[in-house]
Amino acid sequence: MKFAAKRRSGGGVINLTPLIDCIFLLVIFIMLAARFEPEGGIPVDLPSAQAGETPRKVERLNLTVTADGRFYIEDEEILVEDIERKIIEYRTAAGDPDGKDIVLVVNGDKEANHGRIVEALDAASRAKQQKVTIRTRQ
């Protein structure tokens, strides 16, 4: 009896479609799960600047001046008379009463009255805030 040897095909085929589908779903999940939010809670239209420097990662206190002249510290609306007191309270609560490690970030809308932003900076000066930066977009 003579047996014929069976021929094997060139190899198995691996179907990559399910793997590509899983990777695609993971990418979509990560994109949807990521939080893309601006740093301040009050939306303002920031002016542009070419030579801006981003402060290094330190404790920040956001002070926002809206186009209609209202003031916010973080997400709380305040009066201009209360800015100095709130800055001091924040620094004391953060354990840095001298303000050496806390940066006051002023988010001023580009349509805001220049005088209102100067009032905010003056209040920060009276509170002896050492580090102040004005946020812009590049």
Q: Are 46 and 109 in contact (CB under 8 A)?
A: yes
Tell me if the pTM is above 0.75: no
Q: What is the pLDDT of residue 44?
A: 74
Q: What percentage of the chain reaches a pLDDT higher than 90? A: 10
* Confidence band for 57, pLDDT divided at 50, 70 and 90: very low
Taking residues 97-102, what's their average pLDDT? Answer: 78
5/39: higher pLDDT: 5
Rounded to an integer, the average pLDDT of 59-88 is 88
pLDDT, average across residues 71-79: 89
Residue with tokens 């920031």: 46
Non-local (6+) Cβ contacts of 107 within 8 A are: 40, 42, 44, 46, 62, 63, 64, 65, 135
